A and B are shown apart, each in its own frame.
Chain A
Amino acid sequence: MTLAAAAGTAAHATTTTAAETHGFLSPTGVEIAFLLVGLVTLGAAIITVTTRQLVHAALWLVVALGGLAVEYLLLTAEFIAWVQVLIYVGSVVVLLLFGLMLTRAPIGRSPDADSGNRWVALAVSVVAAAALVWVVADAFRTTWIDLDGAPSGSTEVTGASLFQHWVLPFEALSVLLLAALVGAIVLSRKAKDGAATGARATRRDSEGVR
């Protein structure tokens, strides 16, 4: 959702700026910073999936997601950047760490952490990345963000574009999330009815609802 919104904002706000004044051979400071942060993010993401230490993977994910937030900031999308930190770094990673700690979180390497599916996963991720890069590069080829003009990624601009041009996807996503919420409740209630082991099942159940 964040990515779509960011893309929408950028597309909406920047299509008017001219492209011919910019070239790839004389990068500005912001562009260099963008590239460097991007490299760090990519590196952290690769370590996340290759490290043998489970909790380290989650912490490298923090670096990758934080790097993404910095990229949003450099693209002037301040609101999106903070929401990225709030949702992904503040909540999703905490949930991940909570799950890891609750199940198994050995210090040191976990030799059995490798999945047999990794080559398929690699193929899928490469295809997905190629598709995304192609779409984004094709859509934003000639658009540049005017850093000196009016802010193009402020909360106001983001909100306006979200609720004017992107209302339908936004509402569709809300319904999807609501369905997931109801589904989670239904699943956890069923577990309670099915299991007759009493207190333990009830506790599991309330854990699940949380």
Chain B
Amino acid sequence: MNDVLDVALRLLVVFVVFLTFPLIVGQTEHKVMAHMQGRLGPMYAGGFHGWAQLIADGVKFAQKEDVVPAGADRRIFQLAPAVALLPYLLVLLAIPIGPGEGAVGQVLDAGVFFVLAVMGVGVLGSLMAGWASANKFSLLGGLRTAAQLLAYELPMLLTAASVAMAAGTVSLVGILDAFEWWWVPWQITGALVFFVAGLAELQRPPFDMPVADSEIIFGAYTEYTGLRFALFLLAEYAGIVILCGLTTVLFLGGWHGPWGADGLGWIWTLLKTAVLAFVVIWLRVTYPRLREDQLQKLSWTLLVPLSLAQIALTGIVKVVIR
């Protein structure tokens, strides 16, 4: 009975985090974007600085009619948002926020592989949506999503492999247990490559050509309305939380900090994740959108060689210090 309670409690906490953190990132995005662009942003909902704007958005989405286009493949069209969203919920289960058994949803032996594998599944949701909508813009969006996945998946895997090599384990908790502060400069190239590739996976600006609203009208999500569209948006923000959390865990030492490693470690994790999430938003406001072929070029001529160089460096250092 105790075990069941423990599992249920962990699932509940992960679920609550899954529902709240993306909203916090979304609200931060509203505000940060507004300030960077010299405007106020949503100010009325909820009274204080429009804190309830996203809740109002949610209510609006829930009230809208759920439209399925006549020519669409009904079942796949309706299934796609779930396929896009659920993988992120599963990934969240494996990310440790503090030391010890209590601060992670589920300790996995091959955690790095689990998170990267399951994150890749989420892209299937966009592909399904793009195809099933029976809309040219959606199909183009789906195509771009797929092309993008093929480009960024390799550098992401290679840099994660570099960290796994450095730590001598593929368990996320194990990697953090082995972490030393000098890993940050040692793995910095890998960290940058991982983060950039992750942005491309999330289709965040400057890599948002699969959704490019000004040319292909939100790509795979063109035909979606109401709650299903909101689920896709939630998936994007959940993706930001996951990517920032993963970068924190893999490259920035997770719960390790200058002080307070025992007991306050989770604050470090959250702080680093929040800073990275801010960077994600910052990049959105700062950089223009790349073209699809520019992403391919960036990935194959820059990110892949850099990640291979990082692996070589990791290997050399590993042999030298042994």
Which residues of A does B touch, CB under 8 Å? 55-56, 59, 62, 78-79, 82-83, 85-86, 89-91, 93-95, 97-98, 100-102, 105, 107-108, 151, 154-155, 206, 210
Total A-B contacts with CB atoms under 8 angstroms apart? 99
Is B231 interfacial (CB 8 A cutoff)?
no
In the complex, chain A residues whose CB is within 8 Å of the CB of B110:
78-79, 82, 154-155
Is B11 interfacial (CB 8 A cutoff)?
no
- Contact indicator B109/A91 (Cβ below 8 Å): no
Given contacts A90-B120, A210-B151, A210-B296, contact A97 B76 (CB under 8 A): no
Q: List 13 A-B contacts (CB under 8 A).
A: A55-B131, A82-B110, A82-B113, A82-B117, A83-B113, A91-B120, A91-B150, A98-B127, A98-B146, A101-B139, A105-B139, A108-B73, A155-B171
In the complex, chain A residues whose CB is within 8 Å of the CB of B153:
90-91
In the complex, chain B residues whose CB is within 8 Å of the CB of A101:
127, 130-131, 139, 142-143, 146
User: How many B residues have CB within 8 A of the partner chain?
Assistant: 38
Which residues of B does A touch, CB under 8 Å? 71-73, 76, 108-110, 113-114, 116-118, 120-121, 123-124, 127-128, 130-132, 134, 139, 142-143, 146-147, 149-151, 153, 157, 169-171, 293, 296, 300
- Contact indicator B128/A59 (Cβ below 8 Å): yes
In the complex, chain A residues whose CB is within 8 Å of the CB of B293:
206
Chain B nearest CB from A148 CB (Å) reads 15
Given contacts A98-B143, A107-B73, A155-B110, contact A90 B131 (CB under 8 A): no
Tell which of B113, B114, B128, B149 has the most Cβ of chain A within 10 Å. Answer: B113
- Contact indicator A94/B109 (Cβ below 8 Å): no
A108 to B127, CA, bound (A): 17
A78 to B73, CA, bound (A): 35
